[in-house]
Chain A
């Protein structure tokens, strides 16, 4: 179930045009020229990744100072009901499109079988619909902990 919460969270914060990472860090503060959030989906626990490119003359410590208050917002406030509904609708639409090809459906069936039961594929939609705003907030509180993250900085010489 955490997987679906992470999916929603990464989509909301990392959306190319309306995500909070883009609007605050890229547009408003011009700290980054690119920024995104995504999850690595696989059989093991996987990673929640926030990744970006810092603008010239801005520093990593500036970015750090601006980023964590944004992440805290997910921990301190619940998302609005309408925002959650919109998010779920977007994700449902995306998944409906992914299932267009036989190959994609076949691969998903195999993957779910590997995870335990092919039947799980039919439950995906229901799992999304069940998510409440408080579930997202609780999950964010557990996930977005500075002591539990690994930071990779790549700097040109």
Chain B
């Protein structure tokens, strides 16, 4: 078949994004109460298994949770960390562990004909994990070194202080301190693993063109975990407001974090506010970037983000600026708030931002793994894929008047928490 000749001097035509055909995984309930989500139809040889455990950093003390996550298959009675890793290498598998405040996510990647073998290695060594003393000691040393270096950075200092203040009165305000490394306790890590990994399986995602029999075999293994999940406590917090500056001798830059409690995607204003947030500071041509970076030259980058968690969300604006321009930066951010509260966003700018957001959504739906991530994001907060159809229509429909209203309701300078370090 001869392909039609393409004239590569002519760029392809542009089409506005109308609709994205999302694909949902199949859900099946395992005997232990955890859910197994399966996605197939990939038409390639890749596959992954992703396990979600109730072992996040707010589950116990943050350092124990973190060390445990870093040592999951670092040794059993029969095998050393190196032997286990070599066994995974032999089947061409990769794994990684990522820790959030609520969940520990373990992901294993391999070609589909090796995924079960790879998982078996992981499974045996997770259940048989002993957390050898030397492994613990080495990791504590390496993490402590990293912490010492991080502690000097103004961005780290400001970010931590900001989170502690905003999330005050909740488990999310607990943070690792340098002295914690000296009290790292192997027995505590072992107990954490037994309770929050072996008994804490929340859900599993299995992606790949796998045979029915293979999926059944996976389910059998997964049912060896227990799923004793703690009751979700009602989330309570006492977010702080006002300005605090942390002096850092010899600092050339000041890190600035400004923010306030907001909401997550379950809130009716979320989609519309996302548009406002993008105009303010979530793309290169945003108000904050155009003013503070392009016009004034105070910073290399400034942005505003909505940070989402299962039960809450917040807005944070962050940047690092020269120490001598810190006060001016605060004033300019406040000025941009006022502009959005008084003047309507011009149509051209608004259309550009809407286009940008549609493009970002499309990009984040590129391929089966990306689509699954989109599914997982909504599933965590009790929504389904129809959220994205709603997002597309709300973003397209929102008008400048509504955005000004939202600005007036949420971008109130006196209600902000303002932290700077340096």
Contact = CB atoms under 8 A, between A and B. Distances in A.
A102 B366 contact: yes
A33 interface: yes
Contacts of A96: 44-46, 111
Given A18-B82, A23-B82, A93 B367 contact: no
Interface SS majority for chain B: helix
A132 B352 CA distance: 53
Given A86-B92, A92-B92, A96-B46, A102 B367 contact: yes
B109 interface: yes
A33 B110 contact: no
A126 B174 CA distance: 52
B369 interface: yes
B94 A94 contact: yes
Contacts of A100: 44, 46, 366-370
A55 to B, nearest CB: 8
B101 interface: no
B86 to A, nearest CB: 6
Contacts of A89: 91-92
Contact of A33 (B90, B111, B142): B142
Contacts of A34: 142
A101 interface: yes
Contacts of A65: none
A16 to B, nearest CB: 9
Interface string B345-387: 0000000000000000001001111100000000000000000
Sort chain B's interface into a size bin: 20 to 34
A76 to B, nearest CB: 22
A146 interface: no
A90 B89 contact: yes
B173 interface: no
Contacts of B110: 93
B367 A86 contact: no
Given A90-B94, A96-B44, A97-B46, A18 B89 contact: yes
A154 interface: no
B145 interface: yes
Nearest to B48: A97
Interface string A134-156: 00000000000000000000000
B114 to A, nearest CB: 8
A57 interface: no
B97 to A, nearest CB: 12
Given A92-B92, A97-B46, A102-B366, A17 B85 contact: yes
A102 B365 CA distance: 10
Given A100-B370, A102-B366, A93 B109 contact: yes
A15 B94 CA distance: 11
Interface in A80-123: 86, 89-90, 92-94, 96-97, 99-103
B340 interface: no
Contacts of B81: 17
Interface in B127-158: 138, 141-142, 145-146
B93 interface: yes
B370 A101 contact: yes
B19 to A, nearest CB: 17
B94 A86 contact: no
A86 to B, nearest CB: 5
B174 to A, nearest CB: 26
A33 B85 CA distance: 20
A102 B90 CA distance: 29
Interface string A37-55: 0000000000000000001
Contact of A90 (B82, B92, B368): B92
A27 interface: yes
Interface string B107-124: 001110000000000000
Q: Which of the listed residues A34, A55, A89, A94 has the most CB atoms from chain B within 10 Å of its own CB?
A: A89
Interface string B302-314: 0000000000000
A94 B96 CA distance: 13
A18 B142 contact: no
Contacts of A55: 145
A99 B260 CA distance: 40
17 contacts: A17-B82, A18-B82, A27-B138, A33-B142, A33-B145, A33-B146, A34-B142, A55-B145, A86-B90, A86-B92, A92-B111, A93-B94, A93-B109, A93-B111, A99-B44, A100-B46, A103-B363
